Amino acid sequence: MSQIWIENGLFITMDDAQPTFKGHMVVTDDRITYLGTEAPQQLAEGVQKMDGSKLAFLPGLINTHGHAAMSLLRGYSDDQNLQVWLEEKMWPMEGKYVDQDTRAGSALAIVEMLRSGTTSFVDMYDRMDQVALMVEQSGMRGCLTRGVIGLCPADVQDAKLAEAIAFARDWNGKADGRITTMISPHAPYTCPPDYIERFVQAAHDYNLPLHTHMSETITEVEQNVRDYGLRPVEHLDRLGFFSRPALVAHAVHLNDTEIGLLAAKGVSVSHNPVSNLKLASGIARVPELLRAGVTVSLGTDSVASNNNLDLFEEIRFAALLHKGVSGDPTAVPALEALKMGTVYGARAIWQQEDIGSLQEGKKADFIAIDIEQPHFYPKTDIVSHLVYSGSGRDVKHVWVDGRQVVRNGECTLLDEEKIRYEAQASFDRLLQA
Amino acid sequence: MSQIWIENGLFITMDDAQPTFKGHMVVTDDRITYLGTEAPQQLAEGVQKMDGSKLAFLPGLINTHGHAAMSLLRGYSDDQNLQVWLEEKMWPMEGKYVDQDTRAGSALAIVEMLRSGTTSFVDMYDRMDQVALMVEQSGMRGCLTRGVIGLCPADVQDAKLAEAIAFARDWNGKADGRITTMISPHAPYTCPPDYIERFVQAAHDYNLPLHTHMSETITEVEQNVRDYGLRPVEHLDRLGFFSRPALVAHAVHLNDTEIGLLAAKGVSVSHNPVSNLKLASGIARVPELLRAGVTVSLGTDSVASNNNLDLFEEIRFAALLHKGVSGDPTAVPALEALKMGTVYGARAIWQQEDIGSLQEGKKADFIAIDIEQPHFYPKTDIVSHLVYSGSGRDVKHVWVDGRQVVRNGECTLLDEEKIRYEAQASFDRLLQA
């Protein structure tokens, strides 16, 4: 048994019953076993004590949409029209990927995420075995899925679906439960309806949740209406998509009926504000989604459209953007934005019993922020400070499943220098290949 | 004579003739005396050599609108309607300020700005002598002005204007030229027209530029039309405001005629995207302003509406926000956003001959960024990396006027711990007073 006692920390729990307090936390093996203002009793022999007095402790952040391996393409193409970016830049480079590139890109992404306080991430890509291996090694938590584009002959469709199912089945619950899986048709505009129905059936057969891109651009919504006579939410609903636990990414262009349907079906949304701005996709109707009772979580999308994986930025954009757009300075208050990055993120990936808040009995996924910095002074409202002034760079330590994976800003289980070097080597090779 | 030779750095100059290169820079006393790909010749004896191989060098950032002393009010009131925020929260606290509070708040702001790579800032507030003293001590560059609200009896108006003139006259050119001054009626909606005309006359008399808040909210624009029959730009123009060099902050709500008039009169704009979002003021028409040829620079406004002073954030918001709002992913490209934070900032405060870019003969105001971090890999487009992934936390060293004012992330001329302590003490006293 291993035990850590954090003394005199400032705990921002995301648990409404005890939201923020100065006190103590005990972690025993992989779980939080004590949280309170009084010093803990009955500690194990050899308990490791840690001075928390200059730190704020938060649940680890949860990034609910991304493509880690694309980290190799950071800065390769920016400020372009979507079609140029996608067809002339992203797809040709992605077409040249081999397993080593996927590992190199995923490793770079995982280092960046862990250092900036993200402890769980959703990843949708191909060569997912390689991503899963990196998750296993890094100590991070991942909800992984093979994203399938279905605009291909029937035999290729069959093979891709089989691969997606095999990955989801083989890796679910692996790495001491840190890895969970979903299955994913890439998007309604890249998968024919009958193919989507086969994913839905597989989700039932293997008891898996579903993830997809949905209504990211107005163009795809219009195309959906043209091709199928329905907007994407109703279209997916008809295909049975929402009969399973489902997480949809983007959901930028929604009408009121669609928002109501998402709420009624318990569908979660991954809001990706930075990516949606950078690609000029638009601005999601987040205040309306929240008011309707939809679980809205946050995702970075890949660095090719962001270009970083610091979830504090998504939290800040979520808090600021919707005020400016709605004209209402009370839209998406700081605490709500922070919940989107933590407790709502846990709910979006069906892990709210285990992660997303600091509570006795939950998994010990948490981060420590260095608050002795000018931008956190004077000490007033710590939630406001974290949301409006905080950054992933303020994260000093990170624990996942009770294990310290970042210490003093450096990953403990990964060789960061080697990972930077290998990412560069992969990128250079892709450029020349 | 003191001389520094930076070897093998990556220089992002913001000079279109030689925008980015790997090479060398020599600083002699307060000026850049060499920049080039070849190693410099004819160096002074005792030249200090610095290895730049893991750093990127940029001109120091320029923050063209703020109220430093309000740093004491960070997190004191967020997510409120504007009137509650201003009348119930900000004004009562500001009313209790004494000199010591202004010094404490300004010092906290200066520490935060310097550490995050801002080397020059515009400050509009009262008790400006106290701000100037802190600028002098910190080694920073400041363009300072006493902002005057004119909704008061004539004798108070007279006294305030006299104070504003005295400050501007006494401090202009002080601190080895690091301090420059302007005069500032606070805003068209807080100063009667005849009072604004007296500022314009004073600006002529003392050869000073003018700064004011303008068209931040739709309410004040409507009020201007109601009270004076004109929108704010035409109103200020009639009062002679643009017969002097002028910088206007916010400029959110402009019609095409107003944009044309600002361009024709050579008026510069300080765009404050985060503050405008947070207070739900709206989103400035930056692409249109840039297209019209207006100099658009960036400001944080005070931390009470931001809540931080990291200009990298304003740069990123400027690059992202206008893409999403306009639907054009090529709106405000990364390089243009970085120019807004550097070379356009210098132009906005009439110091383009001396600062804003790295060029031989210019003042040595520059910053060094630690680029050996995961979010700057792979090495592709450094401007894109800085704009879309960079942060003030990545700044390692800062020089102003050839003097190193930040070394390894810590201010060299200021006692940061004392400044944090005094800011807290001031805030606690204001709360209880």
Q: Is the separation of the CB atoms in B184 and B148 below 8 Å?
A: yes
In the numeric block, the tokens 């383009």 are attached to B352
- CATH numeric code, B61-348: 3.20.20.140
Beta carbons of B323 and A277 less than 8 Å apart: yes
Nearest residue to B339 via CA among B261, B404, B286: B286
A271 is in an annotated binding site: no
User: What is this model's ipTM?
Assistant: 0.97
φ/ψ of A190, rounded to 5, equals -115, 5
How confident is the model over A87-116, as pLDDT tens digits? Answer: 899 999 999 999 999 999 999 999 999 999
Q: B43 to chain A, minimum CA–CA distance in Å? A: 35
How many residues appear in chain B?
A: 433
Q: Is the separation of the CB atoms in A171 and A144 below 8 Å?
A: yes
H-run or E-run covering B50: strand B48-51
How confident is the model over B155-180, as pLDDT tens digits? Answer: 999 999 999 999 999 999 999 999 99
Q: Is the model's pLDDT at B86 over the cut of 90? A: no
Contact map slice: B 43-82 vs A, CB within 8 A: 71-72, 74-76, 78-82
The residue of A275, A300, A380, A421 whose CB has the most chain B CBs within 10 angstroms, and thus the best one to mutate to test that interface, is A380
Type of residue found at B331:
A
Question: Which band of pLDDT confidence, cut at 50, 70 and 90, is reported for residue A414?
Answer: very high
Q: Is the model's pLDDT at A86 over the cut of 90? A: no
Tokens found for residue A231 = 């907007």
Residue A104: alpha-carbon gap to chain centroid: 19
State the pLDDT at residue B80. 87
Beta carbons of B424 and A377 less than 8 Å apart: yes
How confident is the model over A24-43, as pLDDT tens digits? Answer: 999 999 999 999 999 999 89
Nearest residue to A132 via CA among A119, A117, A149, A145: A145
Beta carbons of B78 and A334 less than 8 Å apart: yes
Nearest residue to A212 via CA among A241, A240, A248: A248
Beta carbons of B79 and A274 less than 8 Å apart: no
φ/ψ of B54, rounded to 5, equals -110, 20
A67 is in an annotated binding site: yes
CA angle centred on B417, ends B415 and B419, rounded to 5°: 70
- The DSSP 8-state label assigned to residue A373 in this structure reads S
H-run or E-run covering A416: helix A416-432
Beta carbons of B374 and A108 less than 8 Å apart: yes
Q: Is the model's pLDDT at B87 over the cut of 90? A: no
Q: Give the Å distances, CA to CA, from B302 to B60, B98, B109, B406.
A: 19, 18, 9, 22
A216 is in an annotated binding site: yes
Q: What CATH architecture applies to the domain B3-60+358-411?
A: Roll (2.30)
Q: A312 to chain B, minimum CA–CA distance in Å? A: 12
Q: Give the Å distances, CA to CA, from A224 to A154, A169, A187, A254.
A: 21, 31, 11, 13
State the pLDDT at residue B82. 78
Partner-chain residue, chosen from A81, A329, A380, that has the shortest CB–CB distance to B74: A380
φ/ψ of A172, rounded to 5, equals -60, 125
State the pLDDT at residue B433. 85
Contact map slice: B 260-279 vs A, CB within 8 A: 274, 276-279
Determine the Cα–Cα distance for residues A356 and A341; give it in Å rounded to an integer. 8
Q: B409 to chain A, minimum CA–CA distance in Å? A: 11
Strands A118-125 and A141-148: parallel
- The 3-class secondary structure across A266-324, one letter per residue, is CCEEEECHHHHHHCCCCCCCHHHHHHCCCCEEECCCCHHHCCCCCHHHHHHHHHHHHHH
Work out the percent of chain B whose per-residue pLDDT is above 70: 100
What residue segments make up the domains of chain B, in order of their start?
Answer: 3-60+358-411, 61-348
Determine the Cα–Cα distance for residues A277 and B327; give it in Å rounded to an integer. 8
State the pLDDT at residue A274. 98
The total of other beta-carbon atoms located within 10 Å of residue A159's CB is 13
Partner-chain residue, chosen from A82, A306, A384, that has the shortest CB–CB distance to B329: A82
Count of CA atoms in the C-beta half-sphere (13 A) of B167: 28
Q: A234 to chain B, minimum CA–CA distance in Å? A: 25
State the pLDDT at residue A433. 86
Average pLDDT over residues B64-92: 92
Task: Please report the DSSP string for B360-384 in residue order.
Answer: TTSB--EEEEE--SGGG-S-S-HHH
Q: Is the separation of the CB atoms in A433 and A96 below 8 Å?
A: yes
Determine the Cα–Cα distance for residues A82 and A91; give it in Å rounded to an integer. 12
Beta carbons of A375 and B279 less than 8 Å apart: no
H-run or E-run covering A27: strand A20-28
How confident is the model over B281-326, as pLDDT tens digits? Answer: 999 999 999 999 999 999 999 999 999 999 999 999 999 999 999 9
